Chain A
Amino acid sequence: MDLALKAEHKAFADEVRAFARENLSPATREKTFSGKHYDRDDHMVWQQALGKKGWLAYTWPKKYGGPGWDVTQRFLFENVLAEEGAPRILPFGPKMVGPVIYTFGTDEQKERFLPGIRSSEVSWCQGYSEPGAGSDLANLRTRAVREGDHYIVNGQKTWTSFAHWGDWIFCLVRTNTEVKAQEGISFLLIDMKTPGVTVRPIIMTDGAHHVNDVFLDNVKVPVENLIGKENEGWTCAKFLLANERLGIAEVPASKRGVSVLRQIARSEPQNGSTLADDPAFTAQIADIDLQVQALEMSELRVLSTMAQGGAPGPEVSTLKVRGSEIQQRIAELTMEAVGEYAQPYQPGMLFQDTNETPIGPDHAPPAAPRYFNMRKTSIYGGSTEIQKNIVSKMVLGL
């Protein structure tokens, strides 16, 4: 075991940093540090730059066009990008459907879909959840009925993140209603431009539009868009969820969050000095800092098992649980640091690039909205309660 970096890894980190500085738009970078919302272009321009460099699908093996990095490189890549203020890579293509396609798809499907994912020319969204199927995903009802060389899909997906930006959606659909819930599900790729697909925004607590309802009304989907075998979609679904959980701890972003929080504390006035001179507050930052470090070491331990050829076990669920709690706590402390000036609601400053001057300091407008918004992290990707059930059952044998 060795925590120190080898020379070639240092060089790699430098390369990533140089790339980010050259390719990340200053406006996007600024949004990251001030906590504003990105628009579609912020993500796409950056992801396409990564795609060109061959780095977007950085977790993929070489065989499928990934860079074939070792775990140290991945770790450095993620950390350097977070430090440089890059937006997170939207996971739906590169981390979700991509690996499903190269693991379960046919050669034609690989050829057809993987390049668009690697280059970020095509953007994807995830059609798992339904109004009646949240934690209990297997309860999903969206029907796909085979008619000749097409499926006719009817039903509703909900909470679909970025469906309003999506070119394609991957869906879990029910193809057999006679068997046990998990056994009649299939994994289907659907072009969002197909007639019968309607997207309706869901507005979040902070006023943001990230998620949507997606209605599927007699949508015709060619059978060649089926991944894996009919009625075996649950296997793909579970494989994808396990992948999803790994990156979801967001340690690099939390590290950045802690350092931004310290900067804010240094700039917030209090009793003639700053909040950074208030031991009660700095102790709370220290506490969250230590939590981030513990989480990072836990993640490194998992990565090290993976480097030795092991697969990440169900204990990654604990990373997701702690990771989301930490993200929420950082948002909470940031809002507390801002204090009374977290109260004005300034949607213009949050969602549009207006020229308004902020009320209070520059970092004030996103503070409370972000706190509200981050409550989602313990709900999506399998809620905290569900993750704990998984650990209880799979790890502790309860």
Chain B
Amino acid sequence: MDLAFTPEEQKFADEVRAFVRANLPADVRDKVKNGKHLIRDDYMRWQQALGKKGWLVYTWPKKHGGPGFTPAQRYIFENICAEEYAPGIIPFGTKMVGPVIYTFGSEEQKSKYLPAIRESTVWWCQGYSEPGSGSDLASLRTKAEKNGDHYIVNGSKTWNTMGHWADWIFCLVRTDPKSKPQEGISFLLIDMKTPGITVKPIIMADGGHEVNEVFFDNVKVPVENLVGKENEGWTCAKFLLANERLGIAAVPQSKRGVEALKDIARAEQEDGKPLIENQSFAEKIADLEIQVTALEFTELRVLSQMAHGGQPGPEVSGLKIRGSEIQQRITELTMEAVGEYAAPYLPGLLWQGTNEEPVGPSYAHLAAPRYFNTRKTTIYGGSNEIQKGIISKMVLGL
């Protein structure tokens, strides 16, 4: 057992750091560092740079054009990107639909879709949830009826993250309404420019627009866009959800978040002294830091199992639970650190990056909106109650 990096791992770490420093656009880095909102182009510039290097799809095996990183390399890559203030990689193409396609897709599908995902020239979004199907995903109703060499899709999807920026959407649709809920579902790729698709924004508690409703009105989708077999989409769906949960703990981002919180606590004053000298507040940060360390070592233990040929089991759900709680706690403490100056609401500065003068310190206006927004982490990707249900059933046998 050894925590230290081998010389090769150390060399790799240096390479990653050098790459990020050379290729991450300075304005993007600056936005991430200061907690500002990113626009589509910010993500694209960074992801395309990674794509060129062959690192965007860093979790993929060599066979499908991934770099074939070891678990230790993945860990290093994720951590250094976070330390260097790179934006998180948007998962819909790289971590969700990509692996589904290379696992369940035909050769034509692989050669048609994978390159654009690897290079980040196409933006994907995820069409799983529906108004009536959240936690109970299998109850979904969006219908796809076969009509010659096309499916005709009708229904609506909701909560589509960044659907308004997307070129393509992968959808779960019902192809057989007569069988058991899980058995009549198919996995379909749909071009967002197809006639009959409408995207309507949903405004979040912080005033931001990141999710949408997507309506399908007699949308014609070629049958060759079906991944896997008809009515066997649930297999793809579950495979994808398991992948989704692994990265969702966001440990590197949380480590960065704790450091940013410390910076704010050093800048904020109380009784003529920096807030960080307030023992009780400092202990709250310390407690959070310990939680992050515990989560990181849990993830490292999973990675180490994987390095020895093991598969991550359902206990990965535990990572998602604690990871999301920690993300929330960081935003909560950040808001506490800001205090009264968290109250002013400055949508212009928040969303459009106007040149308005901030009220209070420059980070203040972000604190409360982030706290409100981050409540989402215990809901999406399978809510924490659902994750506990999974562990209870799959791990504990209850």
Contacts and interface: CB of A to CB of B under 8 A. Distances in A.
Interface residues of A, number: 3
Q: Is the interface of B mostly helix, strand, loop or mixed?
A: helix
Contacts of B279: 279-280
B167 interface: no
B362 interface: no
A283 B280 CA distance: 10
Nearest to B283: A280
Contacts of A279: 279-280
A280 B282 CA distance: 12
B279 to A, nearest CB: 7
A280 B283 CA distance: 10
Contacts of B280: 279-280, 283
B297 to A, nearest CB: 26
A283 B283 CA distance: 13
A275 to B, nearest CB: 15
A366 B65 CA distance: 67
A279 B280 CA distance: 8
Contacts of A283: 280
B388 to A, nearest CB: 16
Interface in B198-251: none
Interface in A239-284: 279-280, 283
B134 to A, nearest CB: 19
B226 to A, nearest CB: 42
A296 B130 CA distance: 46
A279 B281 CA distance: 12
A279 B283 CA distance: 12
Interface in B271-286: 279-280, 283
A283 B278 CA distance: 14
Nearest to A278: B279
B232 to A, nearest CB: 37
Nearest to A283: B280
A279 B282 CA distance: 13
A280 B280 CA distance: 7
Contacts of A280: 279-280, 283
A369 to B, nearest CB: 29
A5 B279 CA distance: 41
Interface string B269-312: 00000000001100100000000000000000000000000000
B282 to A, nearest CB: 11
6 contacts: A279-B279, A279-B280, A280-B279, A280-B280, A280-B283, A283-B280
Q: Which 6 A-B pairs have the closest CB atoms?
A: A280-B280, A283-B280, A279-B280, A279-B279, A280-B279, A280-B283
